[in-house]
Amino acid sequence: MEVYQAVTTLLAVREFQKKPVSETLVNKIIESARLTGSSMNLQPWHFILIRNRGTLVKIGELVTSGKYTAQANFAIAVATEKSSQFAISDASRAIQSMMLTAWSEGVGSNWTGWVGMTKVANLLGIPKNLDVIAVVPFGYPKKIHTKGIKNRKSLKEIVHAEEFGKSLS
């Protein structure tokens, strides 16, 4: 899948098939995070690969907005260095890299949770200097509720030509 196609079709996937994701693809997804650019190339991030079903189920209980992680083939918890003011931007880029890489190979995913997931951090043995900002479950999509249709603001609402408030012709 070419980049633009992946970007424009990527959707949040919240239901997964049991079909396993290959080791090769899991590694490719992780590599896409590792190779993502970060501010001053500081790479203030850690990625915890979770494949153990018991752990996935526990995370599904802890992250109430992402209960479906329990059914994912695997998940990646993303932890950032609390001392870095750029860490959320950096890690968000890495998350998007992983989601697009997975999607381009037919694997769905979604961002779940938000900063301060201390219970997840404790479960995964993550040191106190790091903050868990997301858990990203992955798997082959069961079905896509939105049928590929994106619900987004119109160009007019968010894009300005030269000056704020001037619409593109």
Ligand X SMILES: Cc1cc2nc3c(=O)[nH]c(=O)nc-3n(C[C@H](O)[C@H](O)[C@H](O)COP(=O)(O)O)c2cc1C
Contact positions vs ligand X (CB under 6 A) = 11-12, 14, 65-66, 110-114, 146, 150-151
Report helix, strand or coil for 79: strand
* 141 vs 111: CA distance, rounded Å: 15
Burial 138-161 (b: 16+ CB within 10 A, else e): bbbbbeeeeeeeeeeeeeeeeeee
Q: Which is nearer to ligand X, 12 or 155 (CB)?
A: 12
Q: Which is nearer to ligand X, 24 or 153 (CB)?
A: 153
Q: Which is nearer to ligand X, 49 or 141 (CB)?
A: 141
Report helix, strand or coil for 136: strand
35, 97 contact by CB (below 8 A): yes
Please report how close the Cβ of residue 135 comes to ligand X at its closest, in angstroms.
9
- Six-digit token pair at 35? 């190779």
Residue nearest to ligand X (CB): 65
- Six-digit token pair at 39? 């501010």
Please report how close the Cβ of residue 166 comes to ligand X at its closest, in angstroms.
28
Please report how close the Cβ of residue 148 comes to ligand X at its closest, in angstroms.
9
Please report how close the Cβ of residue 61 comes to ligand X at its closest, in angstroms.
14
Q: Which is nearer to ligand X, 44 or 66 (CB)?
A: 66
- Six-digit token pair at 52? 């153990």
Please report how close the Cβ of residue 50 comes to ligand X at its closest, in angstroms.
16
Q: Which is nearer to ligand X, 82 or 166 (CB)?
A: 82
